[in-house]
Structure 1
Amino acid sequence: MAKKITSQRITPCLWFDKEVEEAVKFYTGIFPNSSIGRISYYTKEGFEIHHMPEGTVLTVEFTLDGQEFMALNGGPLFRFNEAVSFVVNCENQEEIDYYWEKLRVGGDPKSEQCGWLKDQFGLSWQVVPVQLGDMMTDKDINRVNRVMAAIFKMKKMDLRALEEAYASVPA
């Protein structure tokens, strides 16, 4: 029997049209410490409501880098939008580059700005350096302003440029 989700009180559920298996394989192939758990299937019960053929995947439980999720084949009624995104905290530029390049495959290049991207399933991600939190909460508003100005010029985060903006002394 596959592993069941039980260790988290709150588990995000992602609604896909009909590509839940493809999406879960995509995500678990990118992040370490990831796995696919239990899978449930539609039955003939409720067909007049869900319109999914019997045997179609209903839900997939999965883990991304230790975080548990559920994904649902719910049909085309609802779509992802930028109001919800997942933040990928990266230790260095190598990690930023890795997750940026992997997650953006097949996504919408027009959505790429300030470390945000939209993947091939329409889900929004923020690929950011862990150092950004300290930079953005510094008591020196001039430092924060310089970092913000640098971010607004970026698509993918450039850690070196952010560190330079943070450390620079105005002339």
Structure 2
Amino acid sequence: MKGDKLTTVLWFDGDAEEAARFYADTFPDSAVGEIFRAPADFPSGKKGDALTVAFTVLGRSFSGLNGGDMFKPNESVSFMVVTEDQAETDRYWNAIVANAGAESACGWCKDRWGFNWQITPRTLLESQQAGGDEARRAFEAMMTMGKIDVAAIDAARRGD
């Protein structure tokens, strides 16, 4: 993270290091970086606890801050991961949901820490860029889904 001009900071309730390790294990071009351990006790932790954790996800810089339980993530912020096929879509969706996450609608899921993810196949984005009836059909198909079904989106795009 040295030299980065912009880092997104995510607020955790004591488990930023665990989250960073999960993200690094789940997504390519991801890693856990420097962990700053508290030099003294603080309101939501003890001396030696991880206070901040630097990490990257898909090449983007983040810092996890163990700030306590006063702030919770919500759906107003999400992470969109663009996937190339069903296998990649399944891999990310299943990893997040199986790790005490939760399924939602239209390609959205929530990880165990409350952060929202949009696991979005490229074909869905391309359908919306195409516009017209193709976009409408793909959108209507997406509205019936939890995890996105790539074959169903492709069929809707074609009008099958």
- Identity across matched positions, percent: 37
Instruction: State the Cα deviation string for residues 120-153 of structure 1 (Å, max 9, x = none).
Output: 111100001112222112232x221111110011
- Residue equivalent to 2:144: 153
Q: Which is higher, the Rg of structure 1 or of structure 2? A: 1
Structure 1 letter corresponding to 2:34: R
Structure 2 letter corresponding to 1:88: V
Deviation at 1:37, TM superposition (A): 0.8
Deviation at 1:19, TM superposition (A): 0.9
Candidates 31, 38, 58, aligned match of 1:65: 58
Whole-angstrom CA distance in 1 between matches of 2:102 and 2:107: 13
- Residue equivalent to 2:123: 131
Whole-angstrom CA distance in 2 between matches of 1:130 and 1:7: 31
Candidates 126, 131, 143, aligned match of 2:134: 143
Unpaired stretches in structure 1, ≥5 consecutive residues: none
Instruction: State the Cα deviation string for residues 57-89 of structure 1 (Å, max 9, x = none).
Output: 110101122221111101001011111110111
Task: Say if 2:114 is the partner of 1:122.
Answer: yes
Candidates 103, 107, 114, aligned match of 2:101: 107
Structure 2 letter corresponding to 1:113: A
Whole-angstrom CA distance in 1 between matches of 2:149 and 2:7: 31
Structure 2 letter corresponding to 1:52: G
Structure 1 letter corresponding to 2:159: S
Unpaired stretches in structure 2, ≥5 consecutive residues: none
Task: Say if 2:79 is the partner of 1:86.
Answer: yes
Distance 1:36 1:94, change over 3 A: same
- Residue equivalent to 1:35: 31
Deviation at 1:51, TM superposition (A): 4.2
State the SS of the aligned residue for 2:140.
helix
Structure 2 letter corresponding to 1:69: F
Instruction: State the Cα deviation string for residues 83-128 of structure 1 (Å, max 9, x = none).
Output: 111011101111001111001121124xx11000001111100001
State the SS of the aligned residue for 1:131.
helix
**TM-score of the pair, normalised by structure 1:** 0.87
Whole-angstrom CA distance in 1 between matches of 2:137 and 2:44: 52
Deviation at 1:7, TM superposition (A): 4.7
